[in-house]
Chain A
């Protein structure tokens, strides 16, 4: 009797935990294990390190690995260099337009990498906007700056992409440094420099380091930027190399070995980031937080000059590539002399579908939309169930489940895609619709973000609401529908919008899995860049921007929750 009631009580919970865990097992852990096993086992199925060793002792792969780490290191330094002044300004000053400035710094967060790359090529390229302007200015025939297709371009793009992370994390920590502590140090006879090094820096350093670890991780895993702006054996990273091995050389053995090495490294970096984040001095605010001063006090003297320079640089970096993409989408080449004209040609072709461009673009838009919706449906289900389970009190194995659930964040989409390729090779049936695989991969990428946005709301639902509903006669099922669901709505909507935007902009898993039929917008843009149809790529980019920002505006309208 007692055992029976206990089982009945546990059963719904088992189902709730079981469904998402089985999904995770089937579409993340099993494929991943199979590709790692492929890199670890010989023909007879015995465990061997010979493939790993072969890859590690290969000069070429050594070069790829060291370049990957080297570019990530330089990119991180550059992103910190760009972000730290912004963090100082945003945490110490109030000024008109502060909201706009901090809004601008979130732009790179929501932009798909392929768009950033496109904007960079068009803005910093040899015949790009910047060079066009400089050539006119100096009266030269040749491009003034040549940065594309080199390490410089990669670092520039990574810096652009990641400096907002630095601003966000460091500004939060810097703003928390107590003004009283600084004043106290002052009264104890410490000069400004001494106060900074003995009071401020020790408190913000963990924030800076954890931002650095996160940026390093992103640059380590960066794909689209390297694929387009890098190239050639010298400027290749691990991700691009795995992609090339899987898709071009069809060498899954080396790809598997590299994937294992790459995953170990990325998980180590992720662990380092988590560790550093836990050391960040947060929450405890003794006395008053440093007060924001009006920025007018900053504008005097040489400081003002640097401030002006900084804001100009940020606007140049963030705004110009995006605007360039939008402008160029209304341009096309015409006639013998390749004259550039303005018009709606690309958009017209898109809707008339009587050209190769039109049909490809239309198919890409349709696929991207379908993938996005599938990802939303799946990741919302999985993410909400996990959020519910992880927020349960007295959860057994909570740490274990938590780690298992968050691990996909540390495995690159390329490796995830590669593992799917390995699995479908082993399946007896042929999968014709790669878009299903792409949607599954996108779900694995997106659901941790759904968990985060749903959990944020979940934790704010007081237990007393649930108790109140129960005393008022509502059964657990009724409570779920009448209390939990309506209250979770903002979190669900935010999660859905996030999942959609992530899926729509994601190229890495998509490109490794896609065939001709399952082309998505980012892949189409990548191909158009390859065939020098920049203007057409821009038009498609604008549609991607509209789709993604549409999703985010939708959140804002609904009054979603931002963490």
Chain B
């Protein structure tokens, strides 16, 4: 393990942070969560900008909890990029190696190397204010990497860029991280961004770790209803467990019976217990005709057009769900439709 947080605790006013996790060498772990969840606080504690109230931080096996920031050798990219306006590109990137007493020629070579890496060769003498937002962010990344840190922290590094540039830059970050097999902790509140760059994602809410895992795990098998909705659009239907066998639960709900396979369900449910059915819009199959006798029809309430596909808002018995459908044929609002979801794609969650 490259980074290890053991029982880190921090209280800031009403807010409590409590964290226990580790990051492997060469891994990109993302802290994902709504604003105010504590992800930036956690990052600042790792960097040493904030002292935890309790717990221990290990970097490459050594405890660093009481090591001051400037002796930690952790590179950090800040939200506002925090490039020094009074230094050139070269001055900024060379700042870390200079602080650590590298030789001049070494620094010069390192700056050139990093500018190559981020695609800004020849920018050494440029002034920071003359760079575009994307270029500034690249320089900030190069600066954080210059002194060969054992860990790199990225604090919402793309939040000041526009949408198109964000997408380009997150690819860049992933490419560089993999090329140098850097250990990175990345903070963002943007779920798309987290999914695009991460090996694993740690979802944090109200100062607690909700779930940690690969993007697929989080999306397909969310630990709870909140997390499921946080990482993507979700349908939730209140229901009651009727019976169970080895592989399946039989469920009853206001809109009819369901079958849910046990493979994706983490908690045990007993018959008669209340629960929530959870499934993604793309797993809803639209049928022209009724297949199941008991299934009640859905009324199409609205359509959102997304180009490749369309999103349908369906209502039945006071319950609304979202379904995704390829854009081949047109359906008019008010039409009656029938739906079906594969038992493997439904998760049963605690009510």
Contact = CB atoms under 8 A, between A and B. Distances in A.
Interface of A: 462, 464-465, 467-475, 478, 482-483, 486-487
Contacts of A468: 76, 78, 82-84, 143
Given A472-B95, A473-B96, A486-B86, A467 B73 contact: no
B95 A469 contact: yes
Nearest to B91: A482
25 contacts: A462-B80, A462-B82, A464-B78, A465-B84, A467-B47, A467-B78, A468-B78, A468-B143, A469-B84, A470-B48, A470-B70, A471-B47, A471-B48, A471-B144, A471-B153, A472-B95, A472-B99, A472-B143, A473-B71, A473-B73, A474-B95, A474-B99, A478-B99, A482-B95, A486-B86
Contacts of A486: 86
A553 to B, nearest CB: 23
A493 to B, nearest CB: 14
Given A471-B74, A473-B70, A474-B70, A487 B96 contact: no
B147 A472 contact: yes
Nearest to A487: B86
A464 B80 contact: yes
A464 B70 contact: no
Given A478-B99, A487-B85, A487-B86, A473 B147 contact: yes
B75 interface: yes
Q: Provide the main secondary structure of the chain B interface.
A: loop
B97 to A, nearest CB: 8
Given A468-B83, A472-B146, 5 more contacts: A464-B79, A468-B82, A471-B74, A472-B95, A475-B70
A473 B99 contact: yes
A487 B85 CA distance: 8
Contacts, number: 66
Nearest to A479: B70
Nearest to B100: A473
A486 B144 CA distance: 21
Interface string B56-74: 0000000000001111111
Contacts of A474: 70, 95, 99
Q: Which 8 A-B pairs have the closest CB atoms?
A: A473-B99, A464-B82, A472-B96, A470-B69, A468-B82, A471-B76, A486-B86, A464-B78
Contacts of A482: 95
A451 to B, nearest CB: 22
Contacts of A470: 48-49, 68-70
Contacts of B69: 467, 470-471
Contacts of B72: 471
A462 B160 CA distance: 16
Most buried by B among A467, A472, A473, A482: A472
Nearest to B69: A470
A25 B17 CA distance: 45
Nearest to A465: B82
B176 to A, nearest CB: 18
A467 B86 contact: no
Contacts of B80: 462, 464
Contacts of A462: 80, 82
A462 B84 CA distance: 10
A470 B95 CA distance: 10
Nearest to B72: A471
Contacts of A472: 70, 75, 95-96, 99, 143-144, 146-147
Contacts of A483: 84
A208 to B, nearest CB: 39
B75 A471 contact: yes
Contacts of A475: 70
A469 B75 CA distance: 10
B147 A467 contact: no
A470 B79 CA distance: 16
Nearest to B73: A473
A483 B69 CA distance: 16
A3 to B, nearest CB: 15
Contacts of B146: 472
Given A472-B95, A473-B147, A487-B86, A467 B49 contact: yes
Most buried by B among A465, A467, A468, A482: A468
Nearest to B101: A473
Nearest to A489: B86
Contacts of A471: 47-49, 69-70, 72, 74-76, 144, 153
A472 B87 CA distance: 15
Contacts of B75: 471-472
Most buried by B among A462, A470, A475: A470
A467 B48 CA distance: 9
A487 B96 CA distance: 18
Contacts of A473: 70-71, 73, 96, 99-100, 147
B82 A467 contact: yes
Interface in B93-117: 95-96, 99-100
A470 B147 CA distance: 13
A487 B146 CA distance: 23
Contacts of A487: 85-86
A465 B79 CA distance: 11
Contacts of B47: 467, 471
Most buried by A among B70, B85, B86, B143: B70
